[in-house]
Chains A and B, each alone.
Chain A
Amino acid sequence: MRFFEFINKTPLTVKVGLIIVVLNVVAALFAPAIAPYEQDEVVGDVWLSPGSGHLLGTDQLGRDVFSRMLYGARNTIALAISITLLAFLIGVVCGLLAATIGGILDMLLSRIVDVVISFPPLILTLMVLSILGSSTFVLLVVIAVIDSTKVYRLSRALAMDLKVMEFVEVARLRGESTWWIISREIFPNAMPTLLAEFGLRFCFIFLFISALSFLGLGIQPPAADWGSMVRDNAGAISFGIFIPLWPAGAIAMLSVGVNLLVDWFLQRSAQIRSS
């Protein structure tokens, strides 16, 4: 009950964001239960119009678009979350270590990050994909590593500010180990900012994989995925059938939803800190 009271007090944008995110999570988790057909099942004619027994019509091979949207949510969101988690794992660990230990480790990591960050991410990813070929595993590792550089910069900067605080100094004087200082003093204090960054990074990565899939270099068929659904059905537009707008709109919606929640979270934590 408390939860609903709390939600009731939040501004409209937060409610909208929350509804969007919950809808997507439900679609992703329960896709097999909700979807009327399998993701690679051919059920009828090509590009049937919405209605006619198929809620959103059928795609370029005669598969049910609604079912593929649900499975697409599952595949795309799962991959985006895994990449974001991996990027944060690498970025936060390296960033906090570099800031607390300093010296050669910091120098070395920071210079490597400088080079990687000077590349536009899409171009760097395309280059690596041309060499390694596209598979889910390659996407996971490559995008996570590239994105971890941004997380590294943020967590290093946060830790740099925190490590000169009195309570860290006291912990050092007490003779606590570096690991203890990082996990008990620095990490908890960097948490709110990192959490907001997690939301923003998720959006970025989610849009990024969708763009790659749209270019035909992301999640490979027959697995359903929003980006490649747009690509495969792009031809339909010239017949006045707007199927590609469904998955493209879904991508936009989820990203807007997460952004609304992150904005509110940032404002709230700024208020708490200043009061």
Chain B
Amino acid sequence: MSPLMLLVAKRLAAGFLTLIAVSLLIFLSVEALPGDPATAILGQQATPENVRALRQELKLDLPPHIRYLSWLNDLMHADLGKSLSNKRPVAEMIGWRFSNTVFLAGTTALVAVPLAIVLGMLAALYRNSWLDRLISISSLCAISFPEFFLGYILIALFSMKFNLFASMASIDPQMPLLEKIYNIILPCATLLMLVLAHMMRMTRASIIGVLSSPYIEMARLKGIRERRIIVHHAVPNSLSPIINVVVMDLAWLIVGVVVVEVVFVYPGLGQLLVDSVAKRDLPVVQACVLIFAGTYILLNLMADILAIATNPKLRGMR
């Protein structure tokens, strides 16, 4: 096996172990409750019948390791259990909400990634210009503004003042695609502002980092134009860190979506998670957490592997 493959295989194994550890943590968190979990979850409604029913529902009478294995087994068969509050199968509740969340995050990513890379390249080309300064101000805002502040500013401006978009981003499965996109413009814009600044800044930083290397100086001495140097020499060599940052930002996006969904009352997975936490509906919470954490871990894993695969220094290794 080539060293490169070995590196990737190692990273994959580590990622797989993390997923197992995370699923254990999610499962065992219920055990952390002081006293009887069923009584604790039910709180004031803990009549003996209710407690017995919940114990049966959560299979609390079996020993923990057997419960974990049967939970994993159910998981493999896409059986996520039943909701405690409305008794519906969790998989059914999650299905289309998850696709909505992916739709929102995916649309944002489709706009954000090309825009960030082009703007980052321009900022590297015209250093210390107004564009450059704009990027550093907007990234300061992006890290310090709470998601809901941006969201409500957009609502106040575009839905109240100019009456262009609805303040609630409601979508349903029958809607044509264009109408769906129109309805999610405001939440998309909020996420875009949050994620764009970081991507641009990192793109700019990695291109500028490459620009200080000797072969760029060589190209300059040969008299190649600045634009050509950036596009043909700097960008291909800074691709590896850029890809890494972009995929990591996508991982962040999938989580950042939670608050934005609540602001715009968007029927996504984040909204469901928050509601279920308030209702302490454990099976739904566990399923949502597993999906969010799993996606996050897989994207981060992908970022690592892509960084390894696109690193020119490692590519030569055989």
By a beta-carbon cutoff of 8 Å, the part of chain A in contact with chain B is 114-115, 118-120, 122-124, 126-133, 203, 207, 210-211, 214-217, 227, 230, 234, 237-238, 240, 242, 244-245, 248-249, 251-252, 255-256, 258-260
Q: A118-B296, A237-B155 are known contacts; what are 17 more A-B pairs with Cβ within 8 Å?
A: A115-B25, A118-B22, A120-B251, A120-B293, A123-B258, A124-B289, A127-B286, A131-B32, A133-B280, A207-B144, A211-B148, A230-B148, A237-B160, A251-B149, A252-B144, A252-B145, A256-B144
Interface stretch, picked from B48-56, B117-125, B271-279, is: B271-279
Q: Does B141 contact A (CB under 8 A)?
A: yes
**CA gap between A115 and B29 in the complex, in Å:** 14
CB < 8 Å A-B pair total: 132
- B146 to A119, Cβ gap below 8 A? no
Q: Does B285 contact A (CB under 8 A)?
A: yes
Q: Is the interface of A mostly helix, strand, loop or mixed?
A: helix
Q: Is the interface of B mostly helix, strand, loop or mixed?
A: helix
Q: Does B30 contact A (CB under 8 A)?
A: yes
Q: Does B156 contact A (CB under 8 A)?
A: yes
With A211-B259, A252-B146 in contact, do A118 and B297 touch (Cβ < 8 Å)?
yes
In the complex, 19 of the A-B residue pairs with CB atoms within 8 angstroms, ordered by the A residue number, are A115-B21, A118-B18, A118-B297, A120-B296, A124-B289, A126-B258, A130-B280, A130-B281, A131-B41, A214-B146, A215-B259, A217-B274, A217-B277, A237-B160, A240-B160, A242-B156, A244-B148, A245-B153, A248-B152
With A122-B258, A217-B274 in contact, do A259 and B140 touch (Cβ < 8 Å)?
yes
* Chain B positions within 8 Å of A207 at CB level: 144, 146
* Chain A positions within 8 Å of B39 at CB level: none
Q: Does B249 contact A (CB under 8 A)?
A: no
Q: Which of B22, B148, B289 has the most CB of A within 10 A?
A: B148
Q: Does B282 contact A (CB under 8 A)?
A: yes
Q: Does B224 contact A (CB under 8 A)?
A: no
* Chain A positions within 8 Å of B167 at CB level: 237-238
Contact of B29 (CB < 8 Å), options: A127, A210, A230, A242 = A127
With A120-B293, A238-B167 in contact, do A244 and B152 touch (Cβ < 8 Å)?
yes
- B22 to A115, Cβ gap below 8 A? yes
Contact with A along B131-170 (1 / 0, CB 8 A): 0000000001101111111001101100010000001000
Chain B nearest CB: distance from A264 CB in Å?
Answer: 12
- B147 to A122, Cβ gap below 8 A? no
* Chain A positions within 8 Å of B274 at CB level: 126, 215-217
**CA gap between A159 and B134 in the complex, in Å:** 37
**CA gap between A117 and B289 in the complex, in Å:** 15
- A119 to B22, Cβ gap below 8 A? yes
- A214 to B259, Cβ gap below 8 A? yes
Q: Does B292 contact A (CB under 8 A)?
A: yes
* Chain A positions within 8 Å of B293 at CB level: 118-120, 123-124
Chain B's closest residue to A126 (CB) is B277
**CA gap between A255 and B148 in the complex, in Å:** 14
Q: Does B185 contact A (CB under 8 A)?
A: no
Chain B nearest CB: distance from A187 CB in Å?
Answer: 28
* Chain B positions within 8 Å of A203 at CB level: 143-144
**CA gap between A129 and B32 in the complex, in Å:** 12
Chain A nearest CB: distance from B144 CB in Å?
Answer: 4
Contact of B285 (CB < 8 Å), options: A126, A133, A255 = A126
